[in-house]
Amino acid sequence: MTAGPGQGAGAIFLDRDGVITANVLNPATGEFEAAHALEDFAVLPGAVEALLRFDRAGWPLFLVSNQPDAALGKAGIETIQEIHARMMAHLAPAGIRFVEAYYCYHHPKGHVAPFAGPCACRKPSPHFLLKARDAHGVDLSKSWMIGDRETDIACGRAAGARTIRVGEATDTAAEACVPDLAAAADRILSRPPDQRPGKRPPRPRPAAA
Ligand SMILES: [Mg+2]
Ligand SMILES: [Zn+2]
**200 has pLDDT over 50:** no
Could you tell me the residue range of the domain that residue 106 belongs to?
Answer: 12-172+183-195
In a domain, 4, yes or no: no
Centre of ligand 1 to C-alpha 147, Å, is 6
In a domain, 63, yes or no: yes
Centre of ligand 2 to C-alpha 67, Å, is 9
In a domain, 5, yes or no: no
Centre of ligand 2 to C-alpha 43, Å, is 24
For the CA of 115, the nearest ligand: 2
pLDDT of residue 56: 95
- CATH assignment at residue 32: 3.40.50.1000
pLDDT of residue 32: 86
In a domain, 177, yes or no: no
In a domain, 52, yes or no: yes
Query: Which tens digit of pLDDT belongs to each residue from 138-174?
Result: 999 999 999 999 999 999 999 999 999 999 988 999 9
Centre of ligand 2 to C-alpha 107, Å, is 7
Query: Which tens digit of pLDDT belongs to each residue from 32-87?
Result: 888 888 888 999 999 999 999 999 999 999 999 999 999 999 889 999 999 999 99
In a domain, 58, yes or no: yes
In a domain, 137, yes or no: yes
15 is catalytic: yes
Helix axes 47-56, 77-91, angle to 10 degrees: 60
- How many domains in the chain? 1
| Percent of the chain surpassing pLDDT 90 | 76
For the CA of 147, the nearest ligand: 1
Any bridge partners for residue 17, and if so which? 21
In a domain, 161, yes or no: yes
Say whether pTM exceeds 0.75: yes
Centre of ligand 2 to C-alpha 101, Å, is 13
- Mean pLDDT estimate for the chain: 90
**Bigger pLDDT: 7 vs 107:** 107
171 is catalytic: no
